[in-house]
Structure 1
Amino acid sequence: MPEAPLFVVQLHDARRLHYDVRLEVDGVLKSWAVPRGPSLDPTVKRLAVPTDDHSIEYAEYEGVIADSKYGSGAVIVWDAGVYTNLTLDKQRRRIDPAEAIDRGHLKVRLRGVKLTGAWAFTRTDQDWLLVKVRDDDADPSLDLTITEPRSILSGLTIEEMAATRA
């Protein structure tokens, strides 16, 4: 049985602080910049702006990207784990994640250190929305972006990572 595909959420302090949500699809990390981070509240729709695909190796990257490069700034691995594709077509057959992205709707179950449960990515006219699915892991009263600011790898906050460059 093949291993489950990975996901990673990197907190990135570039031009603006945002969360890069990345899913392993066809050997690369499909990526969306989510300015306010994932929400556990199913009534909250978070903007998710598609960004360039990244290599799988980038899933473990933490550090400070030099000022001269695209996306410069501090990066921490805020969360990571594996996911299960839950996307179904009208006949209730599983749709490949790449095809689901092409169609504009992908539903996944995350099993991470911080994030668990199902989320849906849905394309709008120009961008995407990331929404928590109503399930046992939904919790409108909890904001993990505030209560859990540290990297799951280094234990550093984004500010502490930025200070390592000084």
Structure 2
Amino acid sequence: MRLIDHRRKRRPSGDPRFVAERHRPASDHYYLRLDIDGVLVSWAIPDHSRIARRTEDLPLEAAERDVDGDAGTYVNATPYDMGECLERGHLSFFLCGEWLRGWYTLTRIRDGDHETWLLIRRKDDEDADTLRQPALTGRSLDDLS
């Protein structure tokens, strides 16, 4: 049994899924697909780019086929429903895959026929210590006491 099949088998059915798939014919872009409200919402992302173009949504069954890429689950990083975040144009999530693991943000920058989003990989917990420093002095609370 392949590792990806094993992970799908042990995954609780309630966890939302993601698929990151390399487009085979041209191999110059990837597809990122997130399970939102019962469909795989999809974006095409050119290789070495942060721009993501919204593409046609797929049924959830498409996540079960073999992919040339990564698949796993994701965690919503906001208190809002992912469908609502999609409508508002700002998604924040943590991908839990074999190769893709970390915090990401998708922000819509253009509406209409060529809906365009900006994909940003956020800093991980290793930078959380610097975020806890006071902005003006740079000293921690321990230094001030």
Question: TM-score scaled by structure 1?
Answer: 0.61
Q: 1:1-166 residue pairs with structure 2 within 5 A?
A: 3-14=14-25, 17-36=28-47, 46-62=50-66, 76-87=67-78, 94-125=79-110, 126-136=115-125
Query: Distance in 1 between the 2:125 and 2:100 partners?
Result: 12
Structure 1, unmatched stretches of 5+, are: 38-44, 63-75, 88-93, 139-166
Give the SS at the match of 2:61. helix
Count of residue pairs brought into register by the alignment: 112
Give the SS at the match of 2:123. coil
Query: Distance in 2 between the 1:16 and 1:2 partners?
Result: 31
Structure 1 vs Structure 2 CA RMSD: 2.2
Give the SS at the match of 2:47. coil
Change (3 A) 1:32 1:137: farther
Higher CA-based Rg: 2
Relative contact order: is structure 1 or structure 2 higher (C-alpha 8 Å, sep ≥ 6)?
A: 1
Structure 2, unmatched stretches of 5+, are: 1-11, 128-145
Q: Percent identity?
A: 41
Query: Distance in 2 between the 1:103 and 1:122 partners?
Result: 9
Q: Residue deviations 1:85-132, cap 9 Å, x none?
A: 012xxxxxx111111011010000010000111100001024101110
CA contact (8 A) 1:10 1:21 kept: yes
- After the TM superposition, which parts of structure 1 deviate over 4 Å for at least 4 consecutive aligned residues? none
Give the SS at the match of 1:99. helix
